[in-house]
Chain A
Amino acid sequence: MSTKPVMAASSEATVSRRGFLMKLGILFNGFAAMVLAVPIVRFLSSSVTRGRANAYLSWVPLGSIDKFPEGETRLATFQNPYVMPTDGKTVDTACWVRRIAGDKFQVFAINCAHLGCPVRWFQQSGLFMCPCHGGAYYRDGSRASGPPERGLFEYPYEVKDGVLTIQAGELPTPGAAMASLCTEKPPCA
């Protein structure tokens, strides 16, 4: 108790040795935290930084074009190109392949443009219907009715040596890079 006024006086007037060392210690720990923050932030944001350059997208074969009769729309599945050992079945992805004629295709994402539920193709009425909120699309993927604000997402495709290949690798969402891939390039339609 008796030392209190002395301490107060010294800390007001001058920087005490211990007070300085304490501040230095806090500063030192701040530096250590910053050193640690760099790898932590990079670790946490790895999925974002990698995806920024479309590094997740690559060309995936869907099989011989003979599997897809002209004028019809068929379900095809492929394995997502980016795989982690714990993914299980979740890397298997479905898509709708419409062969218009010859080498002309349209490959639609299975995900509704509204909220991503899996759309089903109805050959007889020529419509894709979504089970969640009733979005419907025509056979060319354009919006027919319901809440979606746009048509189905399309994968860019190529036909090489009779094999249909698509550029895939990302969950198609309204904001995703692949959502705009096909609106810019003509080979989709």
Chain B
Amino acid sequence: MRMIAKVGEWFDHRLQLAAPIREAAEHPVPRNTASWFYVFGSAALTVFILQLVTGILLALIYVPSAGEAWSSLQALNHQVALGWFIRAMHGWGSNFMVAIVLIHMVQVFLFGAHKFPRELTWVIGVFLLLMTLGMAFSGQVLRFDQDAYWGLGIGASIASRVPIAGPAIVKLMLGGPIIAGATLSRFFALHVFVIPGMLIAFVGLHVLMVLKLGINEWPMPGRIVKRATYERDYHALTKSEGAPFVPYAVWKDLFFAGFIILAVAACALYFGPFGPTGQPDPTIIQTAPKPDYFFLWLYALLSLLPPSMETPFLLIVPPVAIIALILLPFLSGEGEKSWKRRPIAVLTVLLIAITLGTFTRMAQFAPWSPHMNAWSGDPVPDRFVHGTTALERQGALVFQVKQCRNCHSLGDTGGKRGPALDSVAVRLTNDQLIRQVIQGGGNMPAYGNNLSPAETTALVAFLESLHPAGQAPAHDASREVVLSDSDHKEAIAQR
């Protein structure tokens, strides 16, 4: 033991780090901050370090070349011992990191920790969030498969909408005219050198400021933050009821860090690595690309926004949101810290969380996408053609062959882009059905050029048979008045 102490002294005589480290570790923190609510910052740091380690391990095998990246991922998955596990750890670590950073941010906001004097800590935290999302997107690109390839195309399409500079931004982003070798190489440089370097520097500053300014005390309703008095009050608080961070508070951070690492490992073990999906070959067009989960909400939004609002939304909302996040601590740098007295803050968090959650959930089903194989894969269920006339059966055939089922479901099979047609005859009259089929409208293409009169007649006859047993199909009441009595009877007999 004495030997170790001597070696330690020898090093510290030259490094002179022991005193500042001890000072940092034992700095007094308010006792009530030793809470399980205060562990998310250190958990984010833990996952970041985990990402650095697993990322370096992956770089031992991965080849950042558009021609070979995909096969090097296959080698990681199938050839290198436990390569699949390291890939899975890195992929799940990324998901965890985005989630923990968001939770950390919500906790900080609800506890008023962004207020004076910690404004800059919050602003740097906003940059850290953006960099984390940048890592998530560039990481998805490095998994160079079909999703990555077409995901880059989506990114390029969004970037190209910037007025004037759009095309230049696209070429800068792609490193050339198309998504190709240079694109992957520059995303590799971003993901492995540029963003991690900035992340390390900014995380360092972020943690340093937490040490210098002190951890945010537990917010008490009624204890108002004032610029003139806050720092004096905080020091008095840490003096009167403070406790050294190590070991008083740190044990919870340590337990949670260990728990998070094991949780990532458990997910990696159980669910395995993400992809890669098919080869990044642009001539394979049988693909339905989808982003990773943290961008699914955007994917859903891009389908549900009215087309004319999309470009303004994409160009205006993200910068405004980022600026709002940066300005937040300057606009509400004083006042109440407790969430119990900040109802608008709580409602804002809830609104954003529910909105993002709803869009994410919708994107998992993607009801706006046609089911490309429904017309050949999902036959019209028997009961819809049971006991029908020859004309109606012919119509069912037209319905199937003209790919109506790619967007319209019958008996819960088929696409969900358009309305389900199980009981369409109750909603639309004969005339309305003909008009809708021929002219389209309400987001349905017009089929007039693509159906012969005979096909239209058969199709509409089939659609008119689609109504529940006890419910009569819709009919135009005015027709009965206009038509003569005999015609009327004839028309009724036809139904």
Contact = CB atoms under 8 A, between A and B. Distances in A.
Contact of B403 (A84, A122, A148): A122
Interface string A69-82: 00000010100101
B377 interface: no
B61 to A, nearest CB: 17
Contacts of B184: 86
A141 interface: no
Contact of A145 (B172, B182, B444): B444
A47 B153 contact: no
B372 A77 contact: no
Contacts of B401: 124
Contacts of B166: 173-175
Interface residues of B, number: 71
Contacts of A120: 285-286, 372
Contact of B289 (A82, A117, A146): A117
Contacts of B444: 145
Given A77-B283, A147-B310, A134 B303 contact: yes
Given A93-B282, A125-B447, A136-B445, A171 B167 contact: no
Interface residues of A, number: 58
A90 interface: yes
A30 B303 CA distance: 50
A85 B181 contact: yes
B440 interface: yes
A118 interface: yes
B403 A125 contact: yes
Interface stretch (A5-13, A31-39, A107-115): A107-115
B302 interface: yes
Interface string A127-156: 101111110101000001111110000000
B303 to A, nearest CB: 4
Interface string B393-412: 00000000111101100000
Interface in B404-452: 404, 406-407, 417, 440, 443-447, 449-450
A100 interface: no
A52 B65 CA distance: 26
Nearest to B64: A86
Contacts of A84: 176, 180-182
A114 B157 contact: yes
B368 interface: yes
A87 B174 CA distance: 12
A116 to B, nearest CB: 3
Nearest to B305: A147
B387 interface: no
A163 interface: no
A22 B168 CA distance: 40
Contact of B178 (A82, A127, A145, A174): A82
B162 A147 contact: no
A47 B369 contact: no
Contact of B67 (A89, A119, A134, A169): A89
A118 B150 CA distance: 8
A138 B283 CA distance: 22
B370 A131 contact: yes
Interface in B57-102: 65-68
B206 to A, nearest CB: 29
Contacts of B288: 117, 131-132
Contact of A110 (B180, B282, B447): B282
Interface string B157-186: 111111000111011101111111111110
Interface string A52-74: 10001000000000000000000
Given A115-B153, A171-B178, A175-B160, A133 B302 contact: yes
25 contacts: A48-B171, A52-B168, A75-B285, A84-B180, A86-B67, A86-B181, A86-B182, A89-B280, A89-B281, A90-B181, A92-B282, A110-B282, A110-B285, A116-B156, A117-B289, A118-B287, A119-B285, A125-B404, A127-B403, A131-B369, A145-B445, A149-B307, A174-B157, A175-B162, A175-B166
Interface of B: 65-68, 149-150, 153-154, 156-162, 166-168, 170-172, 174-185, 279-283, 285-289, 299, 302-303, 305, 307-308, 310-311, 368-370, 372, 375, 401-404, 406-407, 417, 440, 443-447, 449-450
**In the complex, the 4 A-B pairs of residues with the closest C-beta atoms, listed nearest first:** A88-B67, A86-B181, A116-B153, A175-B160
Interface of A: 44-45, 47-48, 51-52, 56, 75, 77, 80, 82, 84-94, 110-111, 114-120, 122, 124-127, 129-134, 136, 138, 144-149, 169-171, 173-177
